[in-house]
Structure 1
Amino acid sequence: MFNVLAKVSSFVVVILIGVAAGHSGKFGEGADRLISKIVFNLTLPCAIIRAFGASKFDQSLLCLIALGFAANVTPFFLSLVVYAGKPQDERILQQSNVAGFNIGCFAFAFVQAFFPAQAAIATCLFDAGNSLMCTGGTWALIRALVLDTDYQCMRDKATLFARSLFSSASFDCYVVLIFMGLFDLRIPPEAITLIDPIANANSFLAMFMIGLIIRFTVNKTKAAKLIRLISWRFAFAAVLSLAALFLLPFDPIIRKVVAILAWAPAPSTGPVYTLWAGGDKGLAGMANALTILAGIIMMTSLVLFLGV
């Protein structure tokens, strides 16, 4: 128990250092964007490659891709129906932030710390399905179904979706590595050794980046919108977590991993999509910060309770 709390505390400390750095102004205005580019385009892809290279690819886990995708589209379309009569600004906030998980910059580092390499591959496969939405799918659906958009042609919408999706270095890594796994192609050990220092930097930079983007300001009149959004995420996380533990046809370690991933924070793209759609980015940022706090508490609790 002490080791678990020590590891989680190290994550919290790095996040708090990021919060302090962000408020101090010593890193400049664009520090969060610069570090996010380093994480998404360099350290995270290297961490993913190392995870695939450290363990044998299990094709029976491929259905986790479908699960990751379903875990996104289900709350998105359910809330789309329920919120149909709500004001446009709340619909934008809800649809931009209700679905998706911050796997690469939060949960992946968590899994790396507590689980064996095979669990890291399961996390990557779940995130491959998750990334279908988080790295472009959610924004494409918002433009098509929530906003008045110029992309009325189905072909244009599909092109927009594909362009957003394949511009993600992490998703491109998933495609190549899954293809290699299907044909039993292994990553050379020398290549893993070469990228190892970069992959090791992922946990620190990811947590530090999260600290930089957190903002703790919200107008009291907007509290109801925030509570409704957070309640949607927590309710679905509870359902997914229980379903993973008792219904998934995998070994206990994989079921525990998915149950923990269900409580991963909202993706950092949520506030960005809210901004692009003309919604309340400040409220979206606050929601993101609350899911990070809840993620730390719930994921740590599950690690202790499940005896990882």
Structure 2
Amino acid sequence: MAMILIQSLSFLLVVLVAYLFKKTGILRSTDGTILQKIILNITLPATIIVGFNAVKVDVILFIMIGLGLLTNLVLVLIGSLFWRKKDPVDRAMMMFSQGGFNIGNFTIPFVQGFFPAAIPFIGSFDMGNALMLFGGSPMVVDKILGQEREESSYIKRALRLFHSPSFTTYTFMFLLALLGITIPKTITSVVELFSSGNAFLSMFMVGLYLEIDMDTSSLRKISKLLSVRYTLAIAVAVLFYFVLPLPEIVRFSLVLVTLAPVGTVSTINMIVYGNKRSTSSFLSSISIIFSLILMTIALTLLA
């Protein structure tokens, strides 16, 4: 328990240091773009390779992919029941704020030091999560709002998935596991060098992107959105952990992913559908703080 708290506080410290660097002018929030490119193209794929290597594919991994799809779908649909009388822009924000989990840039870095054995399960869930983020959720939102968007065609969004190095790496490692192919230790030992920096860089990037300045009206809106999100997230986490007949490490992985922050692509979708960039970014930033606290509590209680 002490190690979990120390690790969580260490992550928070990295986030705060990055935020202070931004506020004092040493770095700028735009510098986070460089870190994001390094993470998405190098350290995160390396972490996925190390985590997935030598994994035996069984039905549980397919179940996790399905749960990633189903959880997103259900949460978006539940989100559609809220703010039914509001305008389409606000309704879209509510739906996107409920579905979509930041797993690659937050959850995996958070757990890789505690439970590396959980990465294949979390990664499998993220494959389903990505399918919804890049295609499924916008199509559902369009259907509910009665809108048609050319950019939301299924084929285009399916192809966009493979523009993501992490999703491509998931798919590649999943295929290797299906074929029973294991990457030799001589290669993974080099890959581990790159993956070792993933957690620090991810948390530092979070700090550079962190925004905590917002007007009163937007704060009220964001508080309602996050209240709904985390009430649903906790309910789903309890359901997954205490009801599903799956191994404990799998149920524990599900608890962590459901408590994850708002997905980066969800934030982008909010902006695409007409919401202010500042409000959407602030929502994402605050969700990171809430998730860090809740995931630490979950680790403390269940680990």
Counterpart code for 2:130: S
RMSD of the TM alignment (CA)?
A: 2.2
Q: Which runs of 5+ in 1 are unaligned?
A: none
The worse-fitting range, judged by mean Cα deviation, of 132-141 and 40-49 is 132-141
* Structure 1 position 178 matched with structure 2 position 177: no
Alpha-carbon distance, 1:243 to partner? 1.3
Instruction: Give the share of equivalent positions with the same residue, in percent.
Output: 27
Deviations 1:244-287 (A, max 9, x none): 11122221122122112211111122332222332122122222
Alpha-carbon distance, 1:191 to partner? 2.0
The worse-fitting range, judged by mean Cα deviation, of 248-257 and 136-145 is 136-145
Once residues 13 and 256 of structure 1 are traced to their aligned partners in structure 2, the CA distance between those partners, rounded to angstroms, is 25
* Structure 1 position 261 matched with structure 2 position 257: yes
Counterpart code for 2:133: C
Counterpart in the other structure of 1:285:
281
Q: How many residues align structurally?
A: 303
TM-score when normalising by structure 2: 0.91
Counterpart in the other structure of 1:224:
220
TM-score when normalising by structure 1: 0.90
Counterpart in the other structure of 2:23:
23
Once residues 75 and 51 of structure 1 are traced to their aligned partners in structure 2, the CA distance between those partners, rounded to angstroms, is 28
Counterpart code for 2:129: N
Once residues 12 and 29 of structure 1 are traced to their aligned partners in structure 2, the CA distance between those partners, rounded to angstroms, is 17
Residue 248 of structure 2, aligned match among 252, 258, 273: 252
**For residues 54 and 18 of structure 1, do their structure 2 counterparts lie closer, same or farther at Cα, with a shift above 3 Å needed?**
farther
Once residues 246 and 303 of structure 1 are traced to their aligned partners in structure 2, the CA distance between those partners, rounded to angstroms, is 15
Counterpart code for 1:197: L
Once residues 29 and 192 of structure 2 are traced to their aligned partners in structure 1, the CA distance between those partners, rounded to angstroms, is 30
The answer (yes or no) to whether the contact 1:123–1:257 under 8 Å persists in 2 is: yes
* Structure 1 position 166 matched with structure 2 position 162: yes
Once residues 174 and 92 of structure 2 are traced to their aligned partners in structure 1, the CA distance between those partners, rounded to angstroms, is 34
The answer (yes or no) to whether the contact 1:89–1:280 under 8 Å persists in 2 is: no
Residues 198-217 of structure 1 mapped to structure 2, 5 A cutoff: 198-217=194-213
Alpha-carbon distance, 1:22 to partner? 2.3
Once residues 247 and 179 of structure 1 are traced to their aligned partners in structure 2, the CA distance between those partners, rounded to angstroms, is 30
Counterpart code for 2:176: M
The worse-fitting range, judged by mean Cα deviation, of 175-184 and 211-220 is 175-184
Counterpart in the other structure of 2:150:
151
Alpha-carbon distance, 1:214 to partner? 0.9
The worse-fitting range, judged by mean Cα deviation, of 288-297 and 220-229 is 220-229
Once residues 94 and 257 of structure 1 are traced to their aligned partners in structure 2, the CA distance between those partners, rounded to angstroms, is 25
The answer (yes or no) to whether the contact 1:8–1:300 under 8 Å persists in 2 is: yes
